[in-house]
Structure 1
């Protein structure tokens, strides 16, 4: 019997925590709470670091028990091996399925948050340009082919 059940149990717990953090992050974006956003980012990084460590530990165990190739271990190799096992491994199959569902949920939430963040960044950039007196119509090309705004004499800071 492979000693990987605790790894999958902890991975499931981490994915649940990550999902909750992603929900909190979306709320923080709506409230424009930068301190909360930074704190949540640090918590997410900590969880993802632990998840990476668990994944490495799981791969090392699978290599040790000759379940996957030592030189090129793949997830697919493990799944094929797991499918060939008897019903005593059903609990691991179930944990893997739950982790896969939670992972997909986290990826969807993360993608949504990235889109929200991108929108907020564009809005803030536009507002900053307005404060500087720049207009999206008043841009010139630089020597590298990008554009840069031309300052207006009538900025809000000078008014």
Structure 2
């Protein structure tokens, strides 16, 4: 009787080990990706609480150019409508636009300690670090400046 009990307990251990291995194997084929939990419209800043993690098969998203980590999306601006439960394409987000086309902005020109400030109308929208064209309202000439964090356009002589 003891040998039968030992064999049953050994079989039980094998079944448990196999089922744990199958679970681990299945989990190795699954990953989590961030997806919207509500509709996010173009121009909206993506903030905490707007995303949730969704389990997907790794092979179903292999090679897809999508965001795989929430940290890469938070603080970005949606370029197009993002649908709840759908993966977020890499090109569906961008750094927030600081300067907007058609609004007024301050242009700062710096060269050898000289600083000139002018009001311009950006002809393009841009995020921090991007180069945008703008029209000088006093002269009508086009200038090119780099968008700064404070919303100004910087032109440095050289």
TM class by shorter chain equals under 0.3
**Higher relative strand content:** 2
Larger Cα-atom Rg: 2
Q: Per chain length, whose mean CA-contact separation is higher, i.e. which structure has more relative contact order (CA < 8 Å, sep 6+)?
A: 1
TM-score of the two chains, using structure 1 as the length reference = 0.25
- Give TM-score scaled by structure 2 length: 0.25
